[in-house]
Homo-oligomer: A and B are copies of this chain.
Amino acid sequence: MAEFKLHCFSQSGNAYKAALMLALCGADWEPVQVDFFAGEGRRPDWRETVNEMGEAPVLEHKGRNFSQSGVILTYLSRLFGQFAPANEDEDLEVLRWMLFDNHKFTSYFATYRFFYSLSPQPGDPAVLAFLKGRADGAYAIVDKRLTERPFLIGDRATIADISLAGYVFYPQDEHGYDFAASHPGIHAWMQRLRALPGWTGPYELMPGDKFTASR
């Protein structure tokens, strides 16, 4: 039995953050597929036993369940001593970018992508426009930041980078963004992340087929 179990599914960039961290740390882990689109995260028994927040990813380790990708990243960075902040100032700066990620960078982009290509019904145009406007605002801030330094808090990758990398590696047909053209800072940073030993893409790392649009 593997040391870590990760409740995840391949289409979830939030789950990918945790899976990528496990891969980059060389952890002994195995995935447990969550049938999220069939509503598993909304089932009362799942909420009772796995995560009351109804969300993936959930990391199981030594009989404990950890949820929220930022918690899992923080826990693993302390355990493995990798991608961790080096001091108190860096700790707050990493937290700052993880919070921005959860509030604005990942959240609007992920929800936009869902309505753009994954949801059974096409999203309402006004909702899509709202989400894209918010995602664009957050992506512009991060793109500027990443033209000024190689990684979010400086010269080396930390869990802040792994957090913000959750959704950027999904194929363009799922979200419509061509980062090389629109966000050169983010595009160059993606190449630096891809070069890290152990980097693997979301559909190779987690169970579940690559999404193919049914509409």
Residues of A within 8 A of B (CB): 52-54, 66-71, 74-75, 92, 95-96, 98-100, 102-103, 107, 124, 126-127, 130, 137, 141, 144-145
Contacts and interface: CB of A to CB of B under 8 A. Distances in A.
A102 B108 CA distance: 12
Contacts of A96: 66-68, 71
Contacts of A69: 99
For A66, A68, A71, A99, which residue has the most chain B Cβ atoms within 10 angstroms?
A: A99
Contacts of A68: 95-96, 99-100
Contact of A130 (B92, B124, B137, B141): B124
Nearest to A127: B130
A52 B75 CA distance: 28
A21 to B, nearest CB: 15
Contacts of A103: 102-103, 107
Given A102-B102, A127-B126, A127-B130, A71 B95 contact: yes
Given A52-B141, A103-B107, A124-B127, 5 more contacts: A69-B99, A71-B92, A102-B102, A107-B107, A124-B130
A98 B98 CA distance: 11
Given A52-B141, A126-B124, A126-B126, A95 B70 contact: yes
A127 B100 CA distance: 22
Contact of A144 (B52, B74, B124, B144): B52
A68 B141 CA distance: 14
A12 to B, nearest CB: 13
Contacts of A67: 96
5 contacts: A53-B100, A54-B141, A71-B92, A99-B102, A124-B127
A98 B101 CA distance: 13
A132 to B, nearest CB: 12
Given A52-B144, A107-B107, A130-B124, A74 B95 contact: yes
A71 B99 contact: yes
Given A52-B145, A126-B124, A92 B75 contact: yes
